[in-house]
């Protein structure tokens, strides 16, 4: 029996343009998913984030908008995971969350692939043994570096 294929984790901000969903990047993501990749978005947990039934903050509204756009384009988003990355966030907790994420998909954290531009997130996945792909100017030791989201996705197709 073959091992399950883990989702590719993508930093949500790579799909945004000035805080709003970017149709071109979403189309790239959907095309990537059509090649059999399961995708889970990763976002930084906003400071003071307290989701409730009555008050849907901007972040949850953005999450819902992204899911609807991806669904209309013909794909399905596996979900969004929020990781704490602030100045006083505990690194140990973030690493534990990444390990738990691997367990949720019945894979090791070392099997996870993260595409992003936030240094803390890139480093966290590397520290868990996973693979990090940096998009843009961030240079993180141990992460492959690409200039664009498009080329980062293409690197996983080959």
Higher pLDDT, 25 or 61: 25
Taking only the tens place, the pLDDT of each residue in 54-89 is 444 677 788 888 999 999 988 888 888 888 776 555
Query: Distance between terminal CA atoms of the chain?
Result: 24
Provide the pLDDT for residue 54: 42
3-state class (DSSP) for residue 104: helix
156: number of Cβ within 10 Å: 14
In the chain, what are the domain boundaries?
8-157
Higher pLDDT, 104 or 2: 104
pTM of the shown model: 0.87
Which residues, at least 6 apart from 152, have a Cβ–Cβ distance to it below 8 Å? 115, 133, 135, 146
Report the topology of domain 8-157.
Answer: Rossmann fold (3.40.50)
């Amino acid at each position: 029996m073959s091992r399950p294929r883990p989702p590719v984790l993508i930093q949500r901000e790579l799909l945004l343009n000035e805080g709003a969903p970017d149709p071109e990047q979403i189309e790239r993501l959907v095309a990537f998913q059509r090649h059999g990749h399961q995708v889970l978005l990763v976002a930084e947990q906003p400071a003071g984030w307290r989701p409730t039934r009555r008050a849907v903050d901007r972040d949850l509204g953005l999450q819902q908008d992204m899911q609807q756009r991806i669904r209309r384009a013909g794909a399905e988003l596996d979900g969004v995971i929020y990781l704490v990355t602030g100045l006083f966030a505990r690194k140990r907790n973030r690493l534990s969350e990444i390990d738990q994420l691997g367990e949720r998909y019945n894979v090791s954290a070392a099997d996870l692939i993260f595409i992003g531009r936030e240094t803390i997130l890139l480093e966290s996945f590397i520290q868990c043994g996973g693979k990090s792909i940096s998009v843009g100017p961030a240079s993180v030791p141990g992460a492959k570096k690409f200039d664009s989201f498009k080329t980062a996705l293409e690197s996983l197709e080959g």
